[in-house]
Copies of this chain bind each other. A is one copy, B any other.
């Protein structure tokens, strides 16, 4: 389904080298030595042009090419877009000024503005429905590993026992309709043989699911693997990866996500859900011309879709919007904020209507406790933050080291085997421990919950058999039962197990998220310590709170989010009183993790894959100037430029053949080096080809004109080729003395692809995004060639 190039790209962990050959470095040249400007008379004097009248903007550019040549203004795969150009394109689409046909224009304007909201509505509905489907299927398939429902195989464990009347509240997960596999096949529910039987079937189901997932991904949509967030960040920053958000990726990712989650691998569904939502956004964009044709506009929609993804993953619409703003998006105008907000709302609402958790709430892990916390507890919270930060830094290093190993050694050649081995190991190790056997979300749900009197969880057993110590029936005064201690041990083992397995899992060739596994890595031992300290008092310690804060700290350490994480956590859990503990832990975690390594997991993966991503968070503090970064460098051949009217078709074709640069500046003349505009290689090639085919008289010796007015040609000369239409009349320029931090700022904020460097009004060189990234890599003592794409 995908062209060969992408198949070779070795996505999700293999080598990228095959991709590089297709792309090229940009204009590495030097100005042609000391020149003397004697030719400026060939310049049209500024005031002779009719710029006084000019409300209508660009003069008749297309006088030769009646209709725009197809392909001009589009981008190649694995290239970076120019945001400013895309925005101009969008502006040109609008009717000029205030049209006279006011009613029709008004209707058009309204429908135009409305299409954005309609698109958001559709994305919200579609993503919400998909997320609901994924939740339900994953739940059912997870239970399928352990047994089946006799009332109907499509019921999951919980629903199966709901429909049975004989269930009491105490033992809601035991009912005759639900049969474990051993019970069904050999008729035994207890005993070592049944245990082994269940064990084997559990592992087999897991292997089957994992095998299906990895095969589907490899066969149909290689882009469907992994978390997707690093790539979506890169795409949102202006990079083009065709097919990454296409329909096949959507279908396969949805199916394999269910399979991967059900197989029991240590992965979450949030990253993939963001990817799924972005696919929905991208596909639905095709319904509206405004978004289909404009890469910048489409990225606004994708930013909103990312918010939708988090919104449905956690039932946290506001957190989703903030996540998109803080972590994922590159260009996030306030208009997008409102639309994201709306889309996230619609999606959350759709999900609530589907009601996959059966509690008619938006949130996955609703927390009921409202005990106020004590000032002294801030200390353990900060400790949790430190632990979380350390864990995050460790996780990133370990995971990156593992992924690098996978890329560089033979390990990377057997992705299916790798997935199967990891799945088998996970399943074999997970089954004996109750906390690892259940699905991750169930586990988190159990950990976050406060104990009630009727709670059947092992963690909540307070030595039930014995008489309460003090006369009252108050729970906290009872000594913790022996089962609690065994649960502690199991949890500690589960923590260790999850840590190791997650490092290996993230980055495999199956859809994988990171949030939920990270949330697990909490620090439950505090509970025991504090339980001893304040057992005579009232219910002074809420273990669920510690789990929550610990989860936030670990996630903060791994992703380096702060505000959005806190908002997600409290939307997720409903624990509004605990903003301050959450904030304290997240901040500490971020500081600690930042001290141990600058990058979050997503940035680390972006760098690992060599994407051209200009990190908006990192400050550029080095004191270099534009002239130190620009090409050509000293000793390089001169900058390849086009001149306003001095070149023939042949000259230009020669230039194109000789160089691999993606664009050429147009100057008034070689002598004056005064900049007129900028032409993209792709546009140039397409236009010349088109003119040769369709336009009479255009031959190799035809002169190419970028000037506004073509001087009358001698009758004998071949027809001229006017290409002003494809020239960008407003290229960005900086002077050679501009400090690089300002240049970086301009690139980031305006989303430039390249910028020309001038000195006293003469063209001197060019700086591309890739030059900046290489320069930054050089400063950080990294390999500048790790930046792979344009």
Q: Taking beta carbons and an 8 Å cutoff, which residues of A are in contact with B?
A: 31, 33-38, 40-41, 43-48, 51-52, 54-58, 84, 87-88, 91, 94, 96-97, 317-318, 321-322, 326, 334-335, 337-338, 341-342, 345, 348-349, 352, 360-362, 372, 562-563, 566-567, 570-571, 574, 576-577, 579-580, 583-584, 587, 590, 616-617, 619, 621-628, 634, 668, 672-677, 729-731, 733-739, 741-742, 745-746, 749-750, 758-764
Instruction: Tell me how far the C-beta of A336 lies from the nearest C-beta in chain B, rounded to whole angstroms.
Output: 11
Known A-B contacts A317-B579, A627-B51, A750-B746; the reply to A94 vs B730 at CB < 8 A is no
* Chain B residue at smallest Cβ distance from A58: B737
B737 and A729: CB pair below 8 A?
yes
B567 and A318: CB pair below 8 A?
yes
The answer for the CA separation of A265 and B171 in the assembled complex, in Å, is 60
Residues of B within 8 A of A676 (CB): 760
B760 and A675: CB pair below 8 A?
yes
The listed residue (B45, B574, B761) touching A668 by CB distance below 8 A is B761
The answer for the CA separation of A562 and B750 in the assembled complex, in Å, is 26
The answer for the CA separation of A51 and B757 in the assembled complex, in Å, is 13
The answer for the CA separation of A562 and B344 in the assembled complex, in Å, is 13
A627 and B341: CB pair below 8 A?
no
Known A-B contacts A34-B45, A761-B672, A764-B46; the reply to A338 vs B562 at CB < 8 A is yes
A34 and B57: CB pair below 8 A?
no
The answer for the CA separation of A668 and B760 in the assembled complex, in Å, is 7
For this complex, 28 residue pairs linking A to B, each with C-beta atoms less than 8 Å apart, are A35-B45, A37-B43, A38-B38, A38-B41, A46-B762, A51-B736, A55-B623, A57-B625, A58-B737, A88-B739, A88-B741, A91-B739, A94-B621, A317-B580, A317-B583, A318-B579, A334-B617, A338-B562, A345-B584, A348-B579, A361-B372, A362-B579, A626-B730, A674-B761, A729-B735, A729-B737, A730-B735, A745-B750
Which 3 pairs from chain A and chain B are nearest by CB? A674-B761, A37-B40, A34-B45
The listed residue (B360, B737, B761) touching A762 by CB distance below 8 A is B761
Instruction: Tell me how far the C-beta of A388 lies from the nearest C-beta in chain B, rounded to whole angstroms.
Output: 16
* Chain B residue at smallest Cβ distance from A575: B576
Residues of B within 8 A of A37 (CB): 37, 40-41, 43, 672
A41 and B34: CB pair below 8 A?
no
Task: Determine chain A's interface SS by DSSP, over half rule.
Answer: mixed
A337 and B562: CB pair below 8 A?
yes
The answer for the CA separation of A737 and B617 in the assembled complex, in Å, is 33
B574 and A576: CB pair below 8 A?
yes
Residues of B within 8 A of A38 (CB): 38, 40-41
Residues of B within 8 A of A88 (CB): 739, 741-742
Residues of B within 8 A of A44 (CB): 760
* Chain B residue at smallest Cβ distance from A644: B760
* Chain B residue at smallest Cβ distance from A668: B760
B587 and A628: CB pair below 8 A?
no
Q: Can you add 19 more A-B contacts, CB < 8 Å, to A40-B40, A318-B563? A: A36-B41, A40-B672, A46-B736, A57-B623, A91-B623, A94-B621, A318-B566, A338-B590, A341-B562, A341-B563, A345-B587, A362-B579, A362-B580, A571-B576, A674-B760, A729-B735, A730-B739, A745-B750, A758-B761
Residues of B within 8 A of A736 (CB): 46, 51
A576 and B579: CB pair below 8 A?
no
Greatest chain B CB density within 10 A among A43, A88, A734 is at: A43
Instruction: Tell me how far the C-beta of A758 lies from the nearest C-beta in chain B, rounded to whole angstroms.
Output: 7
Residues of B within 8 A of A674 (CB): 760-762
B345 and A337: CB pair below 8 A?
no
* Chain B residue at smallest Cβ distance from A368: B370
The answer for the CA separation of A598 and B731 in the assembled complex, in Å, is 33
Residues of B within 8 A of A362 (CB): 577, 579-580
Known A-B contacts A342-B587, A761-B762; the reply to A739 vs B40 at CB < 8 A is no
B57 and A624: CB pair below 8 A?
yes
Instruction: Tell me how far the C-beta of A586 lies from the nearest C-beta in chain B, rounded to whole angstroms.
Output: 9
Residues of B within 8 A of A628 (CB): 51, 54-55
The answer for the CA separation of A321 and B566 in the assembled complex, in Å, is 12
Instruction: Tell me how far the C-beta of A453 lies from the nearest C-beta in chain B, rounded to whole angstroms.
Output: 20
The answer for the CA separation of A739 and B92 in the assembled complex, in Å, is 10
The listed residue (B326, B566, B742) touching A730 by CB distance below 8 A is B742
B45 and A623: CB pair below 8 A?
no
B334 and A96: CB pair below 8 A?
no
* Chain B residue at smallest Cβ distance from A338: B562
The answer for the CA separation of A577 and B672 in the assembled complex, in Å, is 68
The listed residue (B36, B566, B741) touching A40 by CB distance below 8 A is B36
The answer for the CA separation of A338 and B593 in the assembled complex, in Å, is 14
A563 and B54: CB pair below 8 A?
no
B345 and A583: CB pair below 8 A?
yes
The answer for the CA separation of A257 and B562 in the assembled complex, in Å, is 33
* Chain B residue at smallest Cβ distance from A729: B737
* Chain B residue at smallest Cβ distance from A624: B55
B759 and A761: CB pair below 8 A?
no
Residues of B within 8 A of A34 (CB): 45-48
B749 and A619: CB pair below 8 A?
no
Known A-B contacts A574-B576, A587-B342; the reply to A733 vs B733 at CB < 8 A is yes
The listed residue (B337, B590, B623, B749) touching A326 by CB distance below 8 A is B337
A335 and B761: CB pair below 8 A?
no
The answer for the CA separation of A736 and B708 in the assembled complex, in Å, is 14
The answer for the CA separation of A713 and B740 in the assembled complex, in Å, is 35
Residues of B within 8 A of A55 (CB): 623-624, 628
Instruction: Tell me how far the C-beta of A104 lies from the nearest C-beta in chain B, rounded to whole angstroms.
Output: 18
Known A-B contacts A40-B40, A337-B562, A759-B46; the reply to A87 vs B579 at CB < 8 A is no
Residues of B within 8 A of A361 (CB): 372, 577
The answer for the CA separation of A348 and B583 in the assembled complex, in Å, is 11
Known A-B contacts A40-B37, A318-B566, A580-B345; the reply to A675 vs B46 at CB < 8 A is no
Residues of B within 8 A of A759 (CB): 46
The listed residue (B341, B621, B624, B745) touching A583 by CB distance below 8 A is B341
Instruction: Tell me how far the C-beta of A569 lies from the nearest C-beta in chain B, rounded to whole angstroms.
Output: 11
The answer for the CA separation of A312 and B670 in the assembled complex, in Å, is 63
Known A-B contacts A54-B627, A745-B87; the reply to A580 vs B348 at CB < 8 A is yes
* Chain B residue at smallest Cβ distance from A727: B737
Residues of B within 8 A of A634 (CB): 52
